[in-house]
Amino acid sequence: LIDGLDILPPGDLRRCLLALSSEPTLLGELFDYRFGGSDVDGHSLGNLILAAMADIFGDFHTGLQIAGEALGALGTVLPVSLQALILEAEIDGQNVVGQALISRTRGTVQSIAVKPDDVALNPPVLDAIAEADQIIVGPGSLFTSLIAALIVPGLAEALNRSDAQLVYVANLITQDGETMSMSLVDHIHALMSFTGLKPDFLALVNTRDIDVPPPFQVLRPSADMPVSFVEAELKDDDFDWPQHDPMLLGQALSEIWEGR
């Protein structure tokens, strides 16, 4: 779909729009619909709608904003760049290309970069950072989501300059592939060393009990934490596999802001 229509990868942007939607609607259901048993098997209708809106309104950024208005999104979704990017990493001496393959490759990530070399930051992102009171990084895949965005030139520098409160929401557990053997301290060091992000942020860490089979590890703070941290109950107990409870996470972030 991406190559055939020459658009940005729409999946994450579509999911962000749906997450920000104020209430379920027919349009929201259509955006979340995925085809099966046909020539378009596996494709998301929402991705196709975003591609159509980019074509109708002349560019992807405008189409995305109008889609957000149509869905009643309580906020604005901004891609970090308006260029199609390719993620490359060196893992245990092996060059690995592509977000999906990097996320599945076990080993130590030694370097990571986005291509092309002349990638430009989406200007409205800088405006949003300058106007923000609180900026939240995470949760999400450490290398293929968080660091992948933060290494786009200008983004980490803008966060370092910002007067906003910066909070890193730690994942609950390690992720198969890219972070399987990493501790929470390792996550934070990687976040800073690969992006240039300064240690002027808080880490928000879950305290609820989590049982996961080995080799997965629960991410907990330790005595050698390189940044200040706040602990709170964040795990959603309604799911078998660990994930954040959005209400608990929102409450914790609000309390961090109020206690600044």
Q: Where are the beta strands (DSSP E) in 21-164?
A: 86-91, 94-97, 109-115, 134-137
Cβ 241 vs Cβ 175: under 8 Å: no
What is the rounded CA–CA span in Å between residue 204 and residue 170?
A: 6
What is the band of 258 on the pLDDT scale with cuts at 50, 70, 90?
A: very high
Q: What is the pLDDT of residues 102-146, one digit of tens each?
A: 999 999 999 999 999 999 999 999 999 999 999 999 999 999 999
**Residue showing tokens 């795990």:** 235
Range in 12-16, 77-81, 155-159 with the lowest mean pLDDT: 12-16
The closest of 127, 129, 124, 128 to 161, measured between CA atoms, is 129
pTM for the whole structure: 0.91
Q: Which domains does the chain have, with CATH numbers?
A: 2-71 (no CATH), 119-258 (3.40.50.10680)
